[in-house]
Structure 1
């Protein structure tokens, strides 16, 4: 029996929003394991260090994928990369579904990381390809979708863990079907990218930032590291923090903490969507600093209410700053370099998401969860303030960032 592949393509606007939905679904799947880590930890009996290793190995696989195939769709087209990556994502969900030990979890996260790396850059570049010139929403959706997706995944999984028997069967069984359908549905999308020569050369692991975008990339770098590093801490150890430090032994509450951070990131992106990129980045970094300082105060007072308020403020700053960073870095990027540049942004993000969190997991055994979180928070505050200083210095030079950033267009460009 032969597979009948649809030949009729979606209209441009419908394709744009379909890609946006697929991006959010993929990121939701990456957030689903966070509330389940404690379930697996109790079931398989592993330490916090092993937990953050399972968390971190996903990011390393994702980074490898970004470095190797992050720009491939600029050369072979968007659709072929998306089909293969969605099939891999479905395979990862099957590994989670049948997991009966740490080895299975590690394998599942590796395969999921490989799939997510290919999907992150390719779906993001497709959004930039398909956005309407009069209403450019690509940068906004690329910056808001991590918060929305991770929030939906973490909160949904937390609800299932708390109230549904065999939650892992429900979560990963449904997601397997969803990603197989997505792989087939990808054929309905129009091919949106010119195919540049050099596909094989593009597979050499590298981070490529076009010369016109390098100054903006360096200015935004400390804020990218700070925001994603804090996101990694919440995703890996957030539910454990709620249970062990604040004494709330409820899986749903752990998921809601991740929702408080990532969900309000969407609000931050929306609130500053029409602002200039540099302004969104500056205000976001300052608000993020205030929020993390509130988290440190919550640890000192052991106030769970303050912890959640601080997470909301931090998330707002995260969303605004990440929107400003993405819009600043990608403004004016040529069509054939979009996937590669977005891959470079997410390489930095996922390195910051994984390495500090793994180090924190190892430190917990030596100095405790509270002390580890305090040091971690102080470090990300310092990085955010470094970004603020770099932005203010760039303003004083009156040179701007790069040629594309000197435009007066809002951050949604």
Structure 2
């Protein structure tokens, strides 16, 4: 009898490992950005474009291909995403210029968007209780592992610009072979062409709450974009520290702090999460602003931990406030609108601020970026204060 992965624990483990690996690979190029920039001599603006094309491609995959696995089956779509991811790893491995990075990052964004959607749905198919927990935790742990692991490999292992991609290639091939043994729990369904049309709609009952949590949600995603695009180069410019190793460490610090919040505070009510997220997304970026001003590595570390708490609690509070307000038939449209707003905040501020680097320098542009995040978080603080009804008389 051929080997198959039949127990729910084995399925959850494989699907969770795949989600972890996809997100680890997505964060791996971040510590290398400064190295690529120095080797090939492109500007900070083009560096942020390498980051932004990934975000745009991932968003397109979520919007257009997010429901592919509902109609083609989970396994087939995940295998397709694996093929795209393997192609991107090969391109990264052979890259010798900016154009190669842009193409590789675009393919990786498409692969990650398709895989995130299909794997998230497959985890829910297998286990409705543990699936959501893995969906929240595995991406953040993966990003931490990818950024920190890449930094360590580049610093202490040979072939710094190739080895990390060889290891990911090996992991993806092995996981793909295991996936072939995984029985698909969802049969194919009709309606594929209709599913490819993006649905962008905020239900009337969710609009007021969405507007209230939107400043904090934008601050959360803007912080993520800041760390994944500008932070490694900023640390080098402000402190003179190793951009690869320390840059990977601060990305890991942000995502691990966020993951700890998602896990440790998962039973907190949404209103309390919003207040914690807004407050720490004022305090954390303020510490980072001072770190840039003074060039203190210790302040970068402390600011990253505090910001990570805001990153995790703010995201959890916003999603828990808005998404349950949609009826089952309205969820796809609300999720799509939520993704669009979030990913625009993820990449557009970094692109805009990068155009100011020639005038302000990286330090000055980063301080402007952080000031914008603090302003958004302050609006979040105001909106998270409980509203009291006026007392009669």
TM-score under structure 2 normalisation?
Answer: 0.89
- Which of 286, 292, 302 is equivalent to 1:293? 286
Q: Where do 5+ consecutive residues of structure 1 fail to align?
A: 398-413
Q: Where do 5+ consecutive residues of structure 2 fail to align?
A: none
Cα distance change of structure 1 residues 174 and 73 upon mapping to structure 2, 3 Å threshold: same
> Could you tell me whether the CA contact under 8 Å between 1:15 and 1:190 is conserved in 2?
no
Superposition deviation, residue 194 in structure 1: 7.5
Cα distance change of structure 1 residues 198 and 43 upon mapping to structure 2, 3 Å threshold: same
Cα distance change of structure 1 residues 198 and 216 upon mapping to structure 2, 3 Å threshold: farther
Partner of 2:230: 237
The farther-off stretch of 188-197 and 300-309 is: 188-197
Cα distance change of structure 1 residues 292 and 38 upon mapping to structure 2, 3 Å threshold: same
Partner of 2:16: 20
1:320 aligns with 2:316: no
> Could you tell me whether the CA contact under 8 Å between 1:129 and 1:335 is conserved in 2?
no
Cα distance change of structure 1 residues 209 and 183 upon mapping to structure 2, 3 Å threshold: farther
> Could you tell me whether the CA contact under 8 Å between 1:223 and 1:387 is conserved in 2?
yes
The CA distance in 1 between the partners of 2:245 and 2:319, in whole Å, is 31
> Could you tell me whether the CA contact under 8 Å between 1:298 and 1:306 is conserved in 2?
yes
Superposition deviation, residue 72 in structure 1: 2.3
Superposition deviation, residue 250 in structure 1: 4.8
Matches within 5 A, 1:108-257: 108-132=104-128, 136-192=129-185, 197-208=190-201, 216-257=209-250
Cα distance change of structure 1 residues 219 and 9 upon mapping to structure 2, 3 Å threshold: farther
* Secondary structure in 1 matching 2:241: coil
The CA distance in 2 between the partners of 1:268 and 1:277, in whole Å, is 13
> Could you tell me whether the CA contact under 8 Å between 1:9 and 1:187 is conserved in 2?
no
Partner of 1:57: 53
Tell me the alpha carbon deviations over residues 135-154 of structure 1, each in whole angstroms, 9 at most, x when there is no partner: x3444433333332211111
Partner of 2:41: 45
* Secondary structure in 2 matching 1:368: helix
Matches within 5 A, 1:374-393: 374-392=367-385
Partner of 1:102: 98
Q: Number of matched residues? A: 390
> Could you tell me whether the CA contact under 8 Å between 2:218 and 2:345 is conserved in 1?
yes
Cα distance change of structure 1 residues 66 and 209 upon mapping to structure 2, 3 Å threshold: farther
The CA distance in 2 between the partners of 1:194 and 1:328, in whole Å, is 33
Supply the RMSD in Å over aligned alpha carbons: 2.8
> Could you tell me whether the CA contact under 8 Å between 1:74 and 1:336 is conserved in 2?
no
Superposition deviation, residue 305 in structure 1: 0.9
Compare relative contact order (CA 8 Å, sep 6+) and give the higher one, 1 or 2. 1
Cα distance change of structure 1 residues 120 and 214 upon mapping to structure 2, 3 Å threshold: farther
Partner of 2:68: 72
> Could you tell me whether the CA contact under 8 Å between 1:66 and 1:347 is conserved in 2?
no
* Secondary structure in 1 matching 2:197: coil
Superposition deviation, residue 27 in structure 1: 0.6
Superposition deviation, residue 341 in structure 1: 5.6
The CA distance in 1 between the partners of 2:210 and 2:5, in whole Å, is 35
Partner of 2:6: 10
